[in-house]
């Protein structure tokens, strides 16, 4: 990590209440500084490997003014290049109008301006009239600029900093916590993107805490109260739910309803979640939940309902060739329901599905961001759906996500109000918000949370 100023306060684990200044959300100067101090320094989740399965497959990834080509250059080899021609700077691969990124397969990349041509290793194989440069046009001068790239969890990650450390070091405890869930085996079920009128941090923070659920998603209150926590792990954080009495296993994303009859409240919660969020569950789980009332007698204690529901759904999936990994209950509880990977990626994991969010700036305007959500599932290979990034207007997203969206622009507006004193995240449930700003301040040199006195 570069340009770290020593902050000292508050405590590293952010257990104490803090106040976060609004600068990071609304300042044009801060937004401009992010390009050099943040986005060109951190590891960024830039592509899913399933989008580049064959040698020569590529996708582009844009972050502010930088654009990167991520290409599979061998069965087990990824390469990433700055998406710019070394001759006179034409962007090499254009993003088709209206699309999130370019994607395709190339044996070579030919610049559309004067025809310089590059092989998959980034070497220039053709420059018209190269002799005119009087021998000075060396391989080094004509090769594409390399970008650091690595993979984890089924994603390609890039880092624009030529002096960056390894991805595994950057991810810290995250692989240990999430590898048992086999995230790399999951495939997209749907993926959507949209441009929001809010800062990228506002968009990420709308999903990094469970404190809002009771008010923003009141329909879920019918299925019981789930008290959420957030914990800091260096750069990253995770969130989860506390175990209800005698039910340590019910802390995962796949948890039962805590209504009077857990058979019925689980069935209702699953159906509601499928229909209104279209994520955080699978058709197999929904169907198994609907059968609980027929397969279990009235009065079955909650732990048995959970156990039966998951065991029958697991068996149903196995019959169609979908195998959930086995994760120790204690590990599941510790891993929680979602991880916030600094700075802008959230992984909401389970053994058979996941929901991931990311947000990045849209130009230098602090009031705009590109927001993305992707839902993944384990599929039998032959049934894996073909998906693309789909630009979707807010009213066409699942209703539960629309509820989240309604807060975002209003938060962005509210934070500019002269009377707003700063963000005061809940120290227990919204610690991921405080942590984001604590870590941002170490890259940005400003905006550190201050202890509340």
Give the residues lining the site for ligand FES (CB under 6 A).
85, 87-88, 90, 111, 113-116
- Min separation Cβ 125 and ligand FES, Å: 13
- Min separation Cβ 143 and ligand FES, Å: 13
Size of the site for Fe ion (CB under 5 A): 1
Contact indicator for 186, 383 with CB cutoff of 8 Å: no
Please provide the distance, in angstroms rounded to a whole number, between the alpha carbons at the two ends of the chain: 30
- Min separation Cβ 401 and Fe ion, Å: 7
Q: What is the DSSP letter of 93?
A: S
Contact indicator for 112, 134 with CB cutoff of 8 Å: no
68 versus 183: smaller Cβ distance to ligand FES: 68
Choose from Fe ion, ligand FES, none: what does 85 bind? Cβ within 5-8 Å by kind. Answer: ligand FES
Choose from ligand FES, Fe ion, none: what does 160 bind? Cβ within 5-8 Å by kind. Answer: none
φ/ψ region of 182 (left if φ > 0, alpha if ψ in -120 to 50, else beta) reads: left
Residue environment code for 69-81, b if the CB has 16+ CB neighbours within 10 A, otherwise e: bbbbbeeeebbbb
377 versus 404: smaller Cβ distance to Fe ion: 404
88 versus 320: smaller Cβ distance to ligand FES: 88
Please, which residues have CB within 8 angstroms of residue 30's CB and are 6 or more apart in sequence? 23, 24, 366, 444, 446, 447
209 contacts Fe ion (rule: CB under 5 A): no
Q: Could you say which residues in the range 380-419 bind Fe ion, by CB under 5 A?
A: 404
Choose from ligand FES, Fe ion, none: what does 404 bind? Cβ within 5-8 Å by kind. Answer: Fe ion
Cα–Cα distance for residue pair 284/287, rounded to 1 Å: 5
86 versus 257: smaller Cβ distance to Fe ion: 257
Collapsed DSSP state (helix, strand, coil) of residue 289? helix
- Min separation Cβ 105 and ligand FES, Å: 21
- Min separation Cβ 414 and ligand FES, Å: 46
- Min separation Cβ 161 and ligand FES, Å: 25
Q: What is the DSSP letter of 94?
A: P
Residue 341 pairs in a beta bridge with 345
Q: What is the DSSP letter of 132?
A: G
Contact indicator for 435, 425 with CB cutoff of 8 Å: no
Choose from Fe ion, ligand FES, none: what does 334 bind? Cβ within 5-8 Å by kind. Answer: none
Which helix (H) or strand (E) segment is 159 a member of? strand 155-159
Which helix (H) or strand (E) segment is 57 a member of? strand 57-63
114 versus 450: smaller Cβ distance to ligand FES: 114
Cα–Cα distance for residue pair 48/50, rounded to 1 Å: 5
Residue 450 pairs in a beta bridge with 19
134 versus 393: smaller Cβ distance to ligand FES: 134
122 versus 336: smaller Cβ distance to Fe ion: 336
Choose from ligand FES, Fe ion, none: what does 111 bind? Cβ within 5-8 Å by kind. Answer: ligand FES
Choose from Fe ion, ligand FES, none: what does 187 bind? Cβ within 5-8 Å by kind. Answer: none
- Min separation Cβ 140 and ligand FES, Å: 17
Q: Contact positions toward Fe ion, by CB under 5 A? A: 404
């Amino acid at each position: 990590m570069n340009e770290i100023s020593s902050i000292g306060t508050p405590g590293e684990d952010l257990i104490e209440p803090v106040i976060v200044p609004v600068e990071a959300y609304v300042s044009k100067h801060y937004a401009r500084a992010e390009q050099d101090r943040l986005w060109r320094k951190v590891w960024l989740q830039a592509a899913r490997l399933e989008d580049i399965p064959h040698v020569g497959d590529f996708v582009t990834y844009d972050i502010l003014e930088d654009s990167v080509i991520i290409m599979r250059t061998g069965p087990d080899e990824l390469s990433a290049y700055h998406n710019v021609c070394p001759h006179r700077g034409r962007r090499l691969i254009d993003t088709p109008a209206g699309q999130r990124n370019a994607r395709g397969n190339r044996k070579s990349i030919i610049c559309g301006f004067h025809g310089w041509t590059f092989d998959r290793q980034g070497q220039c194989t053709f420059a018209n009239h190269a002799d005119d440069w009087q021998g000075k046009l060396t391989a080094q001068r004509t090769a594409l600029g390399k970008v650091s790239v690595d993979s984890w969890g089924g994603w390609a990650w890039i880092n624009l900093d030529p002096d960056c450390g390894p991805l595994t070091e950057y991810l810290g405890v995250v692989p240990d916590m999430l590898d048992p869930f086999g995230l790399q085996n999951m495939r997209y079920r749907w993926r959507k993107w949209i441009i929001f009128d809010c800062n990228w941090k506002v968009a990420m923070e709308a999903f990094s805490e469970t404190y809002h659920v009771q008010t923003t998603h009141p329909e879920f209150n019918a299925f019981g109260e789930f008290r959420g926590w957030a914990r800091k792990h260096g750069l990253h954080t995770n969130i989860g739910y506390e175990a209800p009495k005698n039910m340590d296993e019910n802390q995962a994303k796949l948890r039962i309803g805590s209504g009077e009859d857990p058979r019925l409240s689980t069935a209702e919660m699953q159906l509601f979640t499928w229909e209104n969020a279209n994520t955080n569950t699978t058709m197999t789980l929904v169907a198994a939940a609907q059968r609980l009332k027929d397969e279990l007698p009235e009065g079955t204690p909650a732990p048995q309902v959970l156990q039966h529901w998951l065991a029958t759904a697991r068996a149903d999936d196995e019959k169609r060739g979908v195998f959930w990994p086995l994760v120790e209950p204690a590990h599941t509880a510790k891993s929680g329901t979602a991880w916030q990977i600094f700075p802008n990626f959230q992984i909401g994991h389970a053994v058979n599905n996941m929901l991931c969010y990311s947000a990045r700036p849209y130009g230098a305007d602090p009031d705009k961001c590109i927001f993305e959500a992707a839902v993944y599932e384990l599929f039998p290979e032959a049934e894996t759906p073909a998906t693309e990034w789909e630009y979707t207007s807010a009213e066409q997203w699942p209703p539960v996500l629309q509820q989240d969206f309604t807060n975002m622009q209003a938060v962005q507006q509210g934070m500019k109000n002269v009377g707003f004193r700063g963000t005061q995240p809940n120290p227990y449930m919204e610690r991921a918000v405080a942590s984001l700003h604590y870590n941002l301040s170490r890259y940005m040199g400003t905006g550190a949370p201050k202890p509340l006195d």
